[in-house]
Amino acid sequence: MILSDADILRRLEAGDLVVEPLDDPDIQIQPASVDLRLGREFLEFQHANIPCIHPNSEQETEDYTDRVEVPEDGEYILHPGDFVLGTTRERVEIPDDLIAHVEGRSSLGRLAIVVHATAGLCDPGYKGQITLELSNLGTAPVALTPGMRISQLTFTELKTPADRPYGEDRGSKYQDQSGPQASKIQGDREFGGDQ
């Protein structure tokens, strides 16, 4: 079952679902979703002098990414073909009986802005800001401003709460993240990690 605005408000008031700061519930809570705003931090991918990215090498990340912070009243220009990691301003906490889906906003989609490449899911138990995988599929640069509504979360209720929710007990890589986070795939078992 997908939560409606009334369900979302009820869960927020009960405190088991957290979206904070939720500065303008009248605007941010939609009929079946919550709009999230763009944060100020971005992780840019540079053209690096490496032959390719090796998913099992954490050190390479520093060779091809730069962290950028935009002033509150500034803007981030996303050029055609660019891919950058951004973050939501809001921190979320998803209870064990819900799953959250990160979706783009239609108004930005019509400007050719995509907010996630593949990672559109917040597992039960997830806590932290959400890293956005921002791309401009259009032909013109688009100015993104901190605080603008950039994405939306929908919530689906699970038939039963997760037995093993996302978090420390699972060794989850992105729990309690703040700001955009580069891939931590090198922690996966197939690359010698424990996850």
Q: Which residues are catalytic?
A: 133
CA–CA separation, 6 and 17 (whole Å): 13
- Cα–Cα distance, 11 to 30 (Å, whole number): 15
Q: Is 166 labeled as ligand-binding? A: yes
Residue 110, marked binder: yes
Residue 89 labeled ligand binder: no
Tokens 């699970």: give the residue.
Answer: 158
CA contacts within 13 A on the Cβ side of 61: 14
Any known ligand binding at 107? yes
Nearest CA-CA partner of 85 in 20, 145, 38, 125: 38
Q: Is 105 assigned to a binding site?
A: yes
According to the annotation, is 12 in a ligand binding site?
no
147 is in an annotated binding site: no
Q: Which residue, 81, 42, 75, 71, is CA-closest to 182? A: 42
Write the DSSP assignment of 87-155 as a string of letters.
EEEEEEE--TTEEEEEEE-HHHHTTTEES-SS--EE-TT-EEEEEEEEEE-SSS-EEE-TTSEEEEEEE
User: Is there a binding annotation on residue 109?
Assistant: yes
DSSP 22: -
Residue ranges at the known binding site: 105-110, 123, 131-133, 152, 166, 173, 177
Residue ranges at the known binding site for dCTP: 105-110, 123, 131-133, 152, 166, 173, 177
